[in-house]
Structure 1
Amino acid sequence: MQNYLRKNPQVHSIRVAAADLNGQPRGKRIPARFANKVVSEGTRFPLSVMNLDIWGEDIDDSPLVFETGDRDGILRPTERGFVPMPWLSSPSALLPIWMYRDDGRPFEGDPRHALAAVLNRYKALGLRPVAAVELEFFLIDDSGKSLQVPVSPRSHKRRKAAEIMSIRALDAFDTFFGDLYDACEEMDIPADTAISEAGLGQFEINLMHQNDALRAADDAWLFKMLLKGMARRHGFAASFMAKPYEDYSGSGLHMHFSVLNEQGENVFDDGGARGTDTLRHAVAGCLSAMHDSALIFAPHGNSYDRLVPGNHAPTGICWAYENRTAALRIPSGNPSARRIEHRVAGGDVNPYLMMAAVLGAALNGIEDGKEPPEPITGNAYDMDLPQIPTDWGEAIDVFAKSKIMPRIFDPGLIRNFVLTKRQELHYMAELSPTEQVDIYLDTV
């Protein structure tokens, strides 16, 4: 890691940052000449910083604050190492970090450690998930009293319509997307296909699959940071807010995953379209945990505005082959790439918690040999199915009382997340819809 700064003498400052429970980067700015100490010894800040609300405030009654003296943890660099920050005007580098207790144990309230713990369960069974994500987002002009599509730098017009898979919509912001892809190359984020989506000024970018799910989550977290920063450099906002416009579809973060054995074989592949028993067990695990883990997939008040029947977001708990109305979709194609697409999460999620919830639930099903119900055919919105919670308060209560979540997440993280969300629920109720949008637009 020291080599990075030697090879890049133009970098005069670094940021060290970890993802808190809301996926917000928390950390410090440090002159580059003092970076070696951080690399070799780590840095310190309070354990409670990993458990702040969406405003960046301490959680009332959190045992991490006054009850324990607001004690420090130690944060060490992740294996990612330094990455450039091309959205800033001065040459800078980001060093992703994650938190440990002083005795060397991973801090149970760190979402990256939550995903690592799930992956260690796979490793103990000789398995390794392969994961990729599709991230939907909006480009927004938020300079006026109401949100609207930015003026195209190319045509100098404002296109006030949704255009699904429109080349014209992509070309309207060609300079922005060109700079964004160049920045992804600099940061080693494997950005693949871009399309325009069904919302107003909405787009989607796919990240290539990784056989290291922790790296895939890093890619998603870094991409969200990059996209928002690059958009501001171009004079508008980019947001992963689940539902900025009432009359248009919201943004999702779809996750595709398969599982490899020690021989590198896809354990979901049976050579045909149906998939193996292991695939069905994983599906069953995901379905069983979906109701209780809704708070992970829809963590904010605005998240639930997206979960509306007929608006391209799943609401019924079901699975299907090649059917985008289902919560879990088994895509068609080459059997060697047989996988599960989990379609519930909004764009506003913490990628580490989302991937931990999905992969942890799938592993529960595999370990238990659980069988799913029959896959559906047709329109899931028209069927009488078990439903994903559509109320934030209900989702918080369900998550807190779940018997399934402790198989996936440490009880300390569950407690911290519930306290966080209950505090946000309380204070969001005091704000107008406009004030709520202002908060979510830039943060999530």
Structure 2
Amino acid sequence: MSQSVRPSLTLESARRVLDLHPQAAEIDLLACDLNGILRGKRIPRDALDKIFSDGLKMPRSVLCLDIWGHDAHDNGLVWESGDGDGACKPCGEGLVPVPWSARPRLQMLTMMQNLDGSPFACDPRQALASIVRRFHALGLTPVVASELEFYLMAGDSVETGVPRPPKAPKSGYALDAPRVYALDELDEFDAVLSAIRDACAAQNLPSEAISVENGRGQFEVNLLHVADPLIAADHAVMLRRVVRGVARAHGLHGTFMAKPYGDSAGSGLHVHCSLLDKDGRNVFDDGGEAGTDLLRHAIAGMIETLPESMLALAPNLNSYRRLLPGQHAPVTASWAYENRTSALRIPASGPKARRFEHRVAGADANPYLVLAAILAGALHGIETKAQPPAPVSGNGYADDAAAAPLPTTFETAVAAFEQGKILRKYFGEQMMRAFGAVKRQEMEELRRRVTDVEYQTYLGFL
């Protein structure tokens, strides 16, 4: 199911929303950086007109900071260019309320431009927009849906530095075992999950199913298909803000870390995608179960680009704790029909709903860059009429699976991204340099840090 076409975002439409919320004195303006962290400013409501005319001015380098908020010195945006400003212009769903805020407030996504009005190539939303335009030039429209997993934790987990599951809010039992799809656990967390659902509705986020997953305190929210990858990515970005904000309001902590507990399931960001032609026909549908040649071309392109795309799909050191053998996450560049052990799955469905599911990305990844990497791979396969290897059968996680291994460490993923030739044609040189610089800087900093487990293991014996 896809959302219906939405009206375009204009100053007049934003003013109408503002009129519906007379108590909201302030507006949060949000811009997504390369790590998927929302940055921006809080402005008074009477500054709305100026934001639509001039945009929100911020240094362009703000979108290219490392995970700790430090400048990435090799990104070409600080010392070489004088750290100039960009202008963040409203985009996405426009003004929406912030239901978890104690004081009435509105928020709005923005996308950064250069001051001359051209797209700022290091804005991850702009990177996705550029690839979507290439699909449109071929008369094709990607239809995208996502599934996001996350953990709810005890509210003091960040303060104490010790992540731990909360107790069941009603019965008080310990979350000490997986309770996948347990309806009783949905009932236990009804207050926070219903508030997440209500906040999604208030912000026009098309949430569908909410389910209990395999981890202790782990849940999943499914977002409906949208015939606009930019809006689909907006929805995923804003869902993460909803979960964290609502959880905090209920005395909990919500996290999208890929692997917050070493002995529990990781959290993924699974993406479903089909392609429509100008007449609205699904070009992956051949009337049967196999799908069209175009589907196989797309699969082949994604298989080919998976190694150099891993840094966008798994962008943090912790991401690779999820990508270990036996952890129910893909570690090979594989595809299959109705097989959840493959990286790319063709789900069982009616022919008109023929699509692929991309199962590699972690929930910690930037949704804009995830979709950009996936769609770049698909487009590469379509443009080159690439042919995929044979689909895997049986256990795609097995060591003897007939598929090439993927980078499964932060270091090898950074190297594969920097050395990649295909993704560079779609991301552009400026984005490749900026994202690579951010991740290499993070990797080198983490190499210098000695962990508690190293002290516990070695200090008393060596």
| TM-score normalised over the length of structure 2 | 0.92
Shift of the alpha carbon at 1:428? Answer: 2.0
Q: How does 1:33-182 map to 2 (within 5 A)?
A: 33-141=46-154, 142=157, 144=160, 146-182=162-198
The answer to whether residue 284 in structure 2 is matched with residue 271 in structure 1 is no
* 1:5 equivalent among 18, 37, 55: 18
Kept after mapping to 2: 8 A contact 1:131/1:213: yes
Match of 1:416 in 2: 434
Instruction: Give the secondary structure class of the aligned counterpart of 1:93.
Output: strand
Match of 1:362 in 2: 378
Match of 1:21 in 2: 34
> C-alpha separation between the residues in 2 aligned to 1:100 and 1:134?
29
User: Which has the larger displacement, 315-324 or 164-173?
Assistant: 164-173
Instruction: Give the secondary structure class of the aligned counterpart of 1:108.
Output: coil
Instruction: Give the secondary structure class of the aligned counterpart of 2:164.
Output: coil
User: Which has the larger displacement, 114-123 or 30-39?
Assistant: 30-39
Q: Which residue type is aligned with residue 40 of structure 1?
A: S
Shift of the alpha carbon at 1:430? Answer: 3.5
1:123-149, Cα deviation, whole Å (9 max, x unpaired): 000000000000011111116563221
The answer to whether residue 351 in structure 2 is matched with residue 338 in structure 1 is no
> C-alpha separation between the residues in 1 aligned to 2:252 and 2:396?
36
* 1:285 equivalent among 301, 306, 317: 301
Instruction: Give the secondary structure class of the aligned counterpart of 2:345.
Output: strand
* 1:401 equivalent among 409, 414, 419: 419
> C-alpha separation between the residues in 2 aligned to 1:159 and 1:23?
29
> C-alpha separation between the residues in 2 aligned to 1:144 and 1:50?
29
1:393-439, Cα deviation, whole Å (9 max, x unpaired): 1111110111111122011011000110011112223445579xxxx
> C-alpha separation between the residues in 2 aligned to 1:56 and 1:386?
35
* 1:301 equivalent among 311, 317, 336: 317
Kept after mapping to 1: 8 A contact 2:27/2:106: yes
Structure 1: give runs of 5+ residues left out of the alignment: 436-444
**Aligned residues: percent identity?**
46
Instruction: Give the secondary structure class of the aligned counterpart of 2:226.
Output: coil
Match of 1:188 in 2: 204
Kept after mapping to 2: 8 A contact 1:2/1:39: no
Q: Which residue type is aligned with residue 303 of structure 1?
A: S
> C-alpha separation between the residues in 1 aligned to 2:108 and 2:163?
33
The answer to whether residue 387 in structure 2 is matched with residue 371 in structure 1 is yes
Instruction: Give the secondary structure class of the aligned counterpart of 1:30.
Output: strand
* Cα 1:108–1:206 shift into 2, 3 Å: same
* Cα 1:434–1:233 shift into 2, 3 Å: farther
1:181-231, Cα deviation, whole Å (9 max, x unpaired): 011100000011011111121111100000111100000000011101110
Kept after mapping to 1: 8 A contact 2:75/2:433: no
Q: How does 1:319-330 map to 2 (within 5 A)?
A: 319-330=335-346
Shift of the alpha carbon at 1:164? Answer: 1.2
The answer to whether residue 328 in structure 2 is matched with residue 312 in structure 1 is yes
Number of residue pairs aligned between Structure 1 and Structure 2: 435
Deviation beyond 3 Å, 4+ runs, structure 1: 430-435
Shift of the alpha carbon at 1:357? Answer: 0.5
Structure 2: give runs of 5+ residues left out of the alignment: 1-13, 454-462
> C-alpha separation between the residues in 2 aligned to 1:366 and 1:73?
34
Instruction: Give the secondary structure class of the aligned counterpart of 2:185.
Output: helix
Q: Which residue type is aligned with residue 168 of structure 2?
A: S
Q: Which residue type is aligned with residue 7 of structure 1?
A: L
